[in-house]
Amino acid sequence: MHIILYFFLILYLKAYKMNLIASFIKTRRKQVKLTQEELAIRAGVALTVVRKIEQGKENLSLSKLNQVLKMFGHVLAPVKDNEK
> 11-65, pLDDT tens digit by residue?
555 666 778 889 999 999 999 999 999 999 999 999 999 999 999 887 888 899 9
Instruction: Kindly list the structural domains of the chain, giving each domain's residue range(s) and its CATH number in brackets, ordered by start.
Output: 2-70 (1.10.260.40)
Residue 72: predicted pLDDT: 95
Q: Answer whether residue 8 shows pLDDT above 60.
A: no
In whole angstroms, give the CA distance from residue 23 to residue 49: 15
pTM exceeds 0.85: no
Give 59's DSSP letter.
-
Which residue has better confidence, 5 or 63?
Answer: 63
Q: Which amino acid is at 48?
A: T
